[in-house]
Amino acid sequence: MISKLARILVAAAAFVSLAALAQTGSTAAALPAAPSAAPSPVVNATGNKIGTINIEQAIFASNEGQRDFEVLSKKLEPKQNELKGQNDELDALKKQLNTQGDKMNDQARGTLVKQIEQKQKTFDRQVQDARDDAQGQQNEIAQRILQKLAPVLVKYAGDNGFGLILDTSNPWPNGPVVWAGNSVDITKPVVDAYNAQSGVPAPANPKPAASRPAGAAPTKPATQPAPATTPK
């Protein structure tokens, strides 16, 4: 699943041209600056190989990413449970309207419809707020990891004879790569190098590398309640 996260974070790292970096003698022009404690390596870009990396996948697949997104997922669980409770309450009220509405007098039915509409508006607003909050916290984690991952990527590319690295987080036509074979993908070795540098141990129950951590972003239920009908 490709999300807004990749489009936001990868803009500065979509094309990592080591030839261009060689002209400037610095990695700062193409990638976000690493923290001062870990200065960007100076790369002698003499290679001419072309490679690809899925930046979004690399962030989520790293030991640090899996750890921090799992913590975020647990942090968001109470809000998700709260929203589920509100959705269940809405479902019950709508079921009541559908099954008993024609037996109610106009005043009782109108009161029930108004109650459903008000709760629906509140629920929709809280779902959107929760989604925005989760997305913001996801972005903060990913930005932090990306800043430290960037120099690792550049060093790996320089050490292994790459002259150009393309990001595949967004599939074509939204991304630059129409097609690329697995033989040119360097996502795993870069993640392995980053894990070794970070010192963060692998999680006990690792998530699939290609998927966003479950529960990280609250979403509307799969069966979103339909708007309540207004009284005739």
Helices (H), the chain: 4-9, 18-24, 55-61, 63-100, 106-159, 187-198
pTM of this structure = 0.68
What 105-112 contacts at long range (C-beta under 8 Å, 24+ apart), as own/partner pairs, is 106/231, 109/231, 110/231
CA-wise closest residue to 191 among 37, 4, 2, 58: 58
Give per-residue pLDDT as tens, 136-193.
999 999 999 999 999 999 999 999 999 999 999 999 999 999 999 999 999 999 999 9
Give per-residue pLDDT as tens, 74-126.
999 999 999 999 999 999 999 999 999 889 999 999 999 999 999 999 999 99
Q: Where are the domains of the chain?
A: 73-134
Asked if 164 and 18 count as a contact pair (C-beta separation under 8 A), the reply is yes
Asked if 196 and 47 count as a contact pair (C-beta separation under 8 A), the reply is no
